C-alpha cells in the first residue's frame, strides 16, 4: 500500500533529506585523486551521527557501510574500500539517514578532476533526466509519466537506462510503494497523489543497459564495464507540482572549490 504523508511528516522527511544533502556536500569536498572510498564513508558516518541521525544503509539487509560508493562501471551499491580515486573517475555516492522516525535517501555522481567529454555528458544527461522526471511528479499524473520523461531524456542523448533497479516511496521505511522505474510509458502506472513522497533515481549507462550483480552480494556494475551515473532526489507530490526535499545546491557550492 501507498502511505500518504501529512504536512508534518513531509517536514520530517525534508529534515532528513536536507541532512543527506549536507552529508553529500561534506563528502564532495573530500573527493580528489588519491582518496580512498572508505575514507569518504568514515567522513559521512561521523557527519551524520554529529547531526543526531543514524546512517540508514549501515546494516540494512546486512549492508556493511554508511555510503554506497560506486566508481565508474559500478552502477549502485558499491561497498567503500581501499580503492583510491584517480583523475578521470566518476563516483556515485548514495546516502541515507534515519532521524525522528523517518528516512532520507539521495545520491550524487561526482567527477574526480577532469573527466572525458562523453563522461561529462553522461553526468549532465543523468541529472537532466532526473529533473525532467521530477517535473512530472504532480498530483493527477502517473508514475509512468515520470518514467517516460527519464527514459526519453537519457535515450535522446544516446545513453541507456538500467531496468533492474528502480526508485521508490520514502517514509518511515526506506523502500515503500510505489516502485518508480526509470523506463516506462506515459499515462501508465500508479496515480500520483498529494502526500506521496518518492525517490526518483535514474541509473544511466554509457554503453549497454545490462548489468551484472557482483559476487560480493551488493555491487551492481555494467556488463560492458563502461561508466554509469546515478542521481537521486526525494520529492513530495503536491497539487501544485513537485516539492523537492533534496538540495543539490549545497553539494554544488561545496564542490565548486
Ligand atoms: Mg539512494
Ligand atoms: Mg533510493
Read off the pLDDT of residues 33-55 as tens digits, 9 standing for 90 and up.
Answer: 999 999 999 999 999 999 999 99
| CA 61 to centroid of ligand 2, rounded, Å | 14
Share the mean pLDDT of the chain: 97
Question: In the chain, pLDDT over 90 holds for what percent of residues?
Answer: 98
- Ligand located closest to 107 CA: 1
- DSSP for 47-110 reads HHHHTT-EESSTTGGG--SSEEEEETTEEE-PPP-SPBP-TT-EEEEEEEEEETTEEEEEEEEE
Tell me, in angstroms, the distance from the centre of ligand 1 to residue 203's CA. Answer: 11
- Determine the pLDDT at residue 256: 85
Q: Tell me the per-residue pLDDT of 61-96, one tens digit each, with 9 for 90 and over.
A: 999 999 999 999 999 999 999 999 999 999 999 999
Q: Which ligand approaches the C-alpha of residue 165 most closely?
A: 2
State yes or no: pLDDT of 179 exceeds 70: yes
Instruction: Give the distance (Å) from ligand 1 centre to CA of residue 227.
Output: 18
User: In this predicted structure, what is the pLDDT of residue 249?
Assistant: 97
What confidence category does residue 257 fall into, taking pLDDT thresholds of 50, 70 and 90?
low
> What are the tens digits of pLDDT across the range 100-118?
999 999 999 999 999 999 9
How far apart (Å, rounded) are the C-alpha atoms in residues 76 and 74? 6
Distance from the CA of 233 to the center of ligand 1, in angstroms?
8
CA of 188 from ligand 1 middle (Å) equals 24
Give the model's pLDDT for residue 95.
98
Query: How far does the centroid of ligand 2 lie from the alpha carbon of residue 222, in Å?
Result: 19
Distance 106 CA to ligand 2 centre (A): 6
> In angstroms, what CA-CA distances link 185 with 143, 144, 194, 210?
9, 5, 21, 20
CA of 200 to the centre of ligand 1 (A): 9
> Which ligand ends up closest to the CA of 199?
2
pLDDT above 70 for 250: yes
Q: Is the pLDDT of residue 219 over 90?
A: yes
CA distances for 144 relative to 101, 166, 168, 177, angstroms: 30, 12, 13, 14
Q: How far is ligand 2, taken at its centre, from the CA of residue 135, in Å?
A: 18
Other residues' Cβ atoms within 10 Å of the Cβ of residue 62 = 7
The DSSP H or E segment spanning 236 is strand 233-238
C-alpha of residue 9 to centroid of ligand 2, in Å: 18
Residue 95 main-chain phi, psi, to 5 deg: -140, 140
Cβ atoms of 58 and 72 closer than 8 Å: no
What is the whole-number distance in angstroms between the Cα of residue 4 and the centre of ligand 2? 18
Strand partners, 220: 76, 213
212 CA distance to ligand 1 middle (Å)? 19
User: Within its chain, how far is the Cα of 39 from the centroid?
Assistant: 20
State the average pLDDT over residues 142-167.
Answer: 98
CA of 96 to the centre of ligand 1 (A): 6
In terms of pTM, does the model score above 0.95?
Answer: yes
Task: Provide mean pLDDT across the span 140-147.
Answer: 98
Question: Whose atoms come closest to the Cα of 170: which ligand?
Answer: 2
Q: Which three cell numbers stand for residue 21?
A: 544533502
Helix (H) or strand (E) holding 198: strand 197-200
Indicate the pLDDT class of residue 12, thresholds 50, 70 and 90: very high
Amino acid at each position: 500500500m501507498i502511505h500518504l504523508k501529512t504536512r508534518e511528516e513531509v517536514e520530517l522527511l525534508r529534515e532528513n533529506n536536507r541532512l543527506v544533502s549536507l552529508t553529500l556536500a561534506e563528502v564532495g569536498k573530500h573527493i580528489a585523486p588519491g582518496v580512498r572510498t572508505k575514507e569518504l564513508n568514515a567522513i559521512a558516518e561521523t557527519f551524520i551521527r554529529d547531526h543526531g541521525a543514524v546512517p540508514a544503509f549501515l546494516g540494512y539487509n546486512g549492508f556493511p557501510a554508511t555510503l554506497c560508493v560506486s566508481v565508474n562501471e559500478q552502477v549502485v551499491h558499491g561497498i567503500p574500500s581501499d580503492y583510491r580515486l584517480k583523475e578521470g573517475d566518476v563516483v556515485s555516492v548514495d546516502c541515507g539517514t534515519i532521524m525522528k522516525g523517518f528516512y532520507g535517501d539521495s545520491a550524487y555522481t561526482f567527477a574526480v578532476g577532469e573527466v572525458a567529454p562523453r563522461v561529462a555528458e553522461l553526468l549532465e544527461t543523468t541529472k537532466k533526466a532526473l529533473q525532467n522526471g521530477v517535473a512530472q511528479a504532480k498530483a493527477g499524473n502517473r508514475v509512468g509519466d515520470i518514467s517516460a520523461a527519464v527514459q526519453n531524456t537519457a535515450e535522446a542523448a544516446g545513453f541507456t537506462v538500467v531496468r533492474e533497479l528502480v526508485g521508490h516511496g520514502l517514509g518511515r521505511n526506506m523502500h515503500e510503494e510505489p516502485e518508480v522505474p526509470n523506463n516506462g510509458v506515459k499515462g501508465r502506472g500508479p496515480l500520483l497523489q498529494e502526500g506521496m513522497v518518492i525517490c526518483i533515481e535514474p541509473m544511466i549507462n554509457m554503453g549497454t543497459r545490462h548489468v551484472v550483480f557482483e559476487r560480493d552480494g551488493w555491487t551492481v556494475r555494467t556488463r560492458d564495464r563502461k561508466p554509469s551515473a546515478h542521481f537521486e532526489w526525494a520529492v513530495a507530490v503536491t497539487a501544485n507540482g513537485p516539492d523537492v526535499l533534496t538540495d543539490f545546491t549545497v553539494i554544488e557550492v561545496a564542490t565548486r572549490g
